[in-house]
């Protein structure tokens, strides 16, 4: 039996994921006119409107969303069959990656670049978003998110957690009182991480020798949902910021020396476990398996 719509599936998936004619055309290296014509022909074959298009909006209809989920699953299955039948030593293909917008770029960029150098035949599309999503429905192969409970249906491998310490620029501290205990932090101004779902203003400190525990709530004079912005404000002498060492990696020697760690005899609880998440299924494409293993080794 001839399936007339099958040849249109790659274009339709690209349209759904790029959310524009121009984006899909660019992704598949064809003209905008060809992409638009393919969509029109597909809708005529199926006798249903798949995408509601206006000059400003590009939305899937109910039927379009269902069709996308079905053909996306179909293509994943076809890729698995192709991988099994035509398995080679070559690691190639395209990976769609979702990552936490809050910390993803700072934590992942270097490892992504290293992987790209090792496997130049693999192309990437990295989307930084704030909230975890349904990977399969959204067409992602892998995701990096901070979570205490990996979602059902996915395998989650713990990469690391954040171990934050209070840092301030030496110029800011020049005329400030000497801070010896966590409670005394509130004598200083604070730069706090905050987004719609997460407010990192409450910290529990443990003394390394006495094991004493102290919880403090830091009053912010500046809040941001970007770690890089917090770091820049700290370097500018705006106050104290709770930062993990990863945030300091790109500083030059002079900048790193100018940042003073406070409370060296205290440490905070580890927070925000970072997981690499991927769908739980028997056969992952080789590029996905190698990519996951690369990040597991990076974290060990």
Domain limits, the chain: 6-85, 93-160+273-299, 165-269
DSSP for 126-152, written as a single string: EEEESS---HHHHT-SEEEEE-SSPPT
Q: What is the pTM of this model?
A: 0.64
pLDDT at 103 over 70: no
Note whether 240 and 185 are within 8 A (CB): yes
- Residue 203: what pLDDT? 96
Query: Coil, strand or helix: which one is 262?
Result: coil
The answer to whether domain 165-269 has CATH 1.10.3720.10 is no
67-90 pLDDT, tens digit per residue, is 998 888 888 777 766 665 555 567
Residue range 138-160: mean pLDDT, rounded: 81
Residue range 96-123: mean pLDDT, rounded: 83
What confidence category does residue 145 fall into, taking pLDDT thresholds of 50, 70 and 90?
Answer: confident
What confidence category does residue 240 fall into, taking pLDDT thresholds of 50, 70 and 90?
Answer: very high
The domain defined by 6-85 folds into Arc Repressor Mutant, subunit A (1.10.10)
How far apart are the C-alpha atoms of 74 and 81, rounded to whole Å?
Answer: 11
pLDDT > 70: percent of the chain: 90
How far apart are the C-alpha atoms of 257 and 170, rounded to whole Å?
Answer: 9
Average pLDDT over the chain, rounded to whole? 86
- Residue 81: what pLDDT? 66
Q: How deeply is 89 buried, as exposed, middle or buried, from its count of CB atoms within 10 A (0-12, 13-18, 19+)?
A: exposed
Count of positions (residues) in the chain: 300
- Residue 133: what pLDDT? 63
7-48 pLDDT, tens digit per residue, is 888 999 999 988 888 888 988 889 999 999 999 999 999 999
Note whether 159 and 297 are within 8 A (CB): no
Tokens linked to 251: 């500083």
How far apart are the C-alpha atoms of 170 and 168, rounded to whole Å?
Answer: 6
Tokens linked to 54: 């206006």
Q: Name the architecture of domain 93-160+273-299.
A: 3-Layer(aba) Sandwich (3.40)
β-sheet with 266-268: strand ranges across: 213-217, 202-207, 266-268
What confidence category does residue 206 fall into, taking pLDDT thresholds of 50, 70 and 90?
Answer: very high
Same fold, 93-160+273-299 and 165-269: yes
pLDDT at 1 over 70: no
């Amino acid at each position: 039996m001839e399936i007339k719509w099958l040849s249109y599936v790659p274009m339709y998936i690209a349209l759904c994921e790029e959310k524009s004619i121009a984006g899909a055309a660019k992704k598949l290296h064809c003209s905008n006119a060809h992409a638009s014509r393919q969509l029109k022909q597909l809708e005529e074959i199926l006798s249903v409107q798949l995408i509601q298009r206006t000059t400003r909006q590009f939305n899937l209809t109910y039927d379009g969303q269902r069709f996308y989920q079905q053909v996306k699953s179909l293509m994943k299955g076809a890729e698995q069959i192709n991988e099994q039948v035509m398995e080679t030593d070559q690691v190639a293909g395209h990976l769609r990656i979702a990552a936490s917008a809050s910390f993803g770029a700072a934590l992942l960029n270097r490892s992504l670049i290293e992987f790209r150098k090792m496997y130049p035949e693999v192309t990437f599309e990295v989307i930084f978003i704030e909230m975890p999503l349904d990977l399969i429905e959204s067409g992602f192969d892998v995701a990096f998110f901070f979570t205490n409970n990996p979602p059902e249906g996915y395998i989650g491998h713990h990469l690391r957690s954040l171990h934050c310490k209070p840092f301030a620029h030496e110029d800011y501290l020049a005329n400030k009182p000497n801070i010896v205990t966590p409670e005394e932090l509130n004598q200083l101004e604070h730069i706090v991480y905050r987004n719609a779902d997460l407010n990192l203003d409450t910290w529990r400190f443990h003394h390394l020798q006495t094991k004493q525990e102290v919880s403090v709530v830091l009053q912010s004079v500046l809040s941001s949902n970007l770690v890089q912005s917090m770091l820049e404000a700290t370097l500018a002498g705006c106050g104290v910021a709770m930062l993990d060492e990863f945030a300091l990696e790109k500083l030059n020697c002079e900048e790193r020396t100018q940042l003073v760690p406070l409370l060296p005899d205290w440490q905070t609880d580890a927070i925000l476990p970072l997981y690499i998440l991927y769908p739980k299924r028997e056969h992952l494409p080789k590029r996905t398996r190698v990519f996951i293993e690369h990040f597991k080794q990076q974290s060990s």
